[in-house]
């Protein structure tokens, strides 16, 4: 097998740099076109992580910062798989998340929202996918929070998600939204994504089968990273 490049990004499903309704993007968006690069070893390689890099408790946001009791809020499980565009699992890859607490407040010195801080909630977690690309977190459902854009903008409840894959060109940061949230269609950050189907792909589904009775409700969220040309192309040649 001779691995080749990753598939080109489908820019019709990715937000452009300049999205004036999300005001901060205006001064932070390059104006010139990006230079398209045929991938080299610099793009198809990327950092490798292992279980020694993290601790087992890191994926449990209910416990990983708890002092004397559990944090307040709706207890949830977020789980799913990291896949590539060939629908193959991405194993042993680092998934990191961060989020506001149930009041919509981040444990960040720059967050001055009047929603209360929760002494038992840190708001970040990380894990490594298993051999089938599977991951899970236990956490508290984040609250919506207001932000300065238009006069009265509110972010839908969301969890920020960072994923690596195996090549640095697969690097991705996105956000997870929750099924049924009426704030999703009102949000200028969500609306930076031009394709409604692509927005839907960021909305986690309620998953009753994965919930834990009398404890935690569950949401399913799959993450798809860029796929790679390789064996597919070769198989076709071999089959000729």
Instruction: Restricting to residues 183-222, name those near other proteins by CB under 8 A.
Output: 189-190, 192-193, 195, 197-199, 201-202
Q: Are strands 217-220 and 223-225 parallel, antiparallel or unpaired?
A: unpaired
Q: Does 179 bind other proteins (CB under 8 A)?
A: no
Q: Which of 77, 39, 17 is nearest to 167 (CA)?
A: 39
Active site residue 160: yes
Q: State the minimum distance, in angstroms, from the CB of residue 51 to other proteins.
A: 12
Contact between 123 and 99 (Cβ < 8 Å) = yes
Instruction: Looking at residues 61 to 100 of the shown chain, list those that interact with other proteins (rule: CB under 8 A).
Output: 64-65, 83-87, 94, 96-98
Phi-psi region of 125 (alpha: psi -120 to 50; beta: other; left: phi over 0): beta
Q: Does 237 bind other proteins (CB under 8 A)?
A: yes
Q: Does 43 bind other proteins (CB under 8 A)?
A: yes
Contact between 205 and 179 (Cβ < 8 Å) = yes
Q: 79, 158, 226, 228: which one is catalytic?
A: 158
Q: Three-class SS string for 161-195?
A: EEECCCCHHHCEEEEEEECCCCCHHHCCCHHHCCC
Q: 160, 171, 205, 229: which one is catalytic?
A: 160
* Contact residues for 183 (Cβ-Cβ < 8 A; gap 6+): 144, 154, 155, 156, 157
Q: State the minimum distance, in angstroms, from the CB of residue 177 to other proteins.
A: 9
Q: 81, 155, 226, 228: which one is catalytic?
A: 155
Residues constituting the chain: 240
Smaller CB distance to other proteins: residue 30 or 213?
Answer: 30
Q: State the minimum distance, in angstroms, from the CB of residue 35 to other proteins.
A: 5
The dihedral sign for the CA sequence 233, 234, 235, 237:
positive
**Per-residue contact string for residues 129-158; x = within reach of other proteins by CB under 8 A:** ------------------------------
Q: State the minimum distance, in angstroms, from the CB of residue 182 to other proteins.
A: 19
Active site residue 108: no
Q: Which of 42, 51, 119, 150 is in the footprint of other proteins by CB under 8 A?
A: 42
Active site residue 51: no
Annotated active-site positions, please? 106, 145, 155, 158, 160
């Amino acid at each position: 097998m001779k691995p080749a490049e990753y598939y080109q990004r489908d820019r019709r499903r990715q937000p452009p740099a300049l999205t004036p309704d999300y005001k901060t993007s205006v001064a932070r968006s390059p104006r010139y076109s990006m230079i398209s690069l045929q991938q080299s070893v610099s793009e198809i390689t990327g950092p490798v992580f292992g279980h020694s890099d993290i601790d087992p408790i890191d994926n449990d946001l209910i416990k990983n910062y708890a002092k004397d009791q559990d944090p307040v809020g709706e207890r949830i499980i977020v789980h799913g798989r990291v896949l590539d565009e060939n629908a193959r699992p991405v194993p042993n890859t680092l998934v990191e998340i961060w989020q506001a607490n149930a009041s919509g407040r981040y444990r960040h010195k720059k967050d001055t929202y009047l929603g209360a801080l929760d002494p038992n909630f840190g708001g970040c977690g990380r894990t490594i996918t298993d051999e089938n690309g599977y991951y899970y977190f236990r956490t508290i459902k984040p609250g919506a929070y207001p932000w300065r854009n238009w006069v009265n903008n509110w972010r839908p409840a969301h969890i920020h998600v960072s994923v690596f894959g195996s090549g640095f060109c697969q690097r991705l940061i996105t956000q997870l939204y929750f099924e049924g949230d009426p704030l999703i269609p009102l949000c200028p950050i969500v609306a930076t994504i031009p394709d409604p189907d692509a927005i839907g792909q960021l909305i986690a589904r309620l998953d009753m089968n994965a919930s834990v009775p009398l404890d935690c409700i569950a949401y399913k969220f799959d993450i798809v990273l860029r796929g790679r040309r390789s064996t597919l192309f070769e198989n076709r040649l071999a089959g000729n």
